[in-house]
Amino acid sequence: MLQIENLVKKYDTNTVLDEVSATFEEGKCYLLLGANGAGKSTLAKCIAGDEGYESGSIQWHNSSTNVSDIVALQYQFFNSYPHLKVREVIQLFQRLIVNPYDINELYTLLNVSSFEQTLIKNLSGGQQKTLSIILAFLLNKKIIILDEPFATLDLQRKQVLAEFIKNQIHQDRLFIIISHEIAGFEDLFDSILILQNGKIMEQGTMSDLKKKYKQTTFPGIEGIYFEVTGQVLGGYKK
């Protein structure tokens, strides 16, 4: 279990995470929702150890495990090594990583071979996203955080990725997905967390939140989000 307690993160005087507390269990997939600038990516970076924080704690089962060692964070884009080809970057990472994940299935599903000879600097947005997803899985970590994995992917890749993630959710894995795109993928998520202005406004299992928010303006997760924040995921205000 990943336990976050009273996490405070500031950039200068801007308090981006304001006493955030949450727990995440193995074998589950969590959806982290919030408007642009709510602090979602910052929370992901704090969990992955890419950003420090002012106060609070991030622990794995109350142990001294260094959480950043067990987290793979997929960034929204990958554009390092501009003069290497996609295949070369993947091979490089396969050699660098101890016990890399066997990505053959995902490689085929996401049709990486169609652009494996392309230089990184020439990749389209969707191809960069696909590569960043492949590299996140390759790291073979217990906690996988995907930052907008579906945005910019074509419909077919979105669907096969959602299906692949669903099959990857087992006792030894924990997924945290940041996504504004949820239409069609709602059954992927066990629980939702809603961040607004650096605070967790709501969190719970899908079934509990559906019971709590019965009369929603919109169906499903979109409706819960609207009731909690007064905004639609696209940004419209009540």
Ligand X SMILES: Nc1ncnc2c1ncn2[C@@H]1O[C@H](COP(=O)(O)OP(=O)(O)OP(=O)(O)O)[C@@H](O)[C@H]1O
- Sign for the CA dihedral angle at 2, 97, 51, 76 comes to negative
User: For residues 41 and 128, which CB has a smaller minimum distance to ligand X in the complex?
Assistant: 41
Q: Does 41 bind ligand X (CB under 6 A)?
A: yes
57 CA to centre of own chain: 20
Buried b (16+ CB within 10 A) or exposed e, 92-119: ebeeeeeebbebeebbebbebeebbeee
User: For residues 40 and 157, which CB has a smaller minimum distance to ligand X in the complex?
Assistant: 40
- Report how far apart the first and last C-alpha atoms of the chain are (Å, whole number): 36
Q: How far is the CB of 12 from ligand X (least distance, A)?
A: 7
Binding range to ligand X, per CB under 6 A, among 36-44, 157-165, 205-213, 229-237: 36-44
Q: Which position among 1, 21, 27, 37 is part of the footprint of ligand X (CB under 6 A)?
A: 37
Q: Which position among 4, 22, 31, 34 is part of the footprint of ligand X (CB under 6 A)?
A: 34
User: For residues 16 and 194, which CB has a smaller minimum distance to ligand X in the complex?
Assistant: 16
Q: Does 179 bind ligand X (CB under 6 A)?
A: no
Q: Does 236 bind ligand X (CB under 6 A)?
A: no
User: For residues 31 and 103, which CB has a smaller minimum distance to ligand X in the complex?
Assistant: 31
The alpha carbons of the chain give a radius of gyration, in whole angstroms, of 18
What's the length of the chain?
238
Residues touching ligand X, count (CB under 6 A): 10
Q: How far is the CB of 139 from ligand X (least distance, A)?
A: 21
- Please check whether residue 169 is in contact with residue 159, taking contact to mean a CB–CB distance below 8 angstroms: no
Q: How far is the CB of 70 from ligand X (least distance, A)?
A: 21
Q: Does 149 bind ligand X (CB under 6 A)?
A: no
Q: Which position among 4, 7, 20, 39 is part of the footprint of ligand X (CB under 6 A)?
A: 39
Q: How far is the CB of 23 from ligand X (least distance, A)?
A: 20
How many helices and strands (H and E) does the chain possess?
7, 9
Q: Which position among 7, 22, 33, 38 is part of the footprint of ligand X (CB under 6 A)?
A: 38
Q: Does 196 bind ligand X (CB under 6 A)?
A: no
Taking 3-state DSSP, the helix, strand and coil percentages for the chain, each rounded to the nearest 5, stand at: 35, 25, 40
Q: How far is the CB of 176 from ligand X (least distance, A)?
A: 12
CA angle 49, 51, 57 (to 5 degrees): 65
Q: Which amino acid is at 159?
A: Q
Q: Crossing angle of helices 125-138/155-168, nearest 10°?
A: 10
Q: Does 52 bind ligand X (CB under 6 A)?
A: no
Binding site for ligand X (CB under 6 A): 11, 16, 34, 36-42
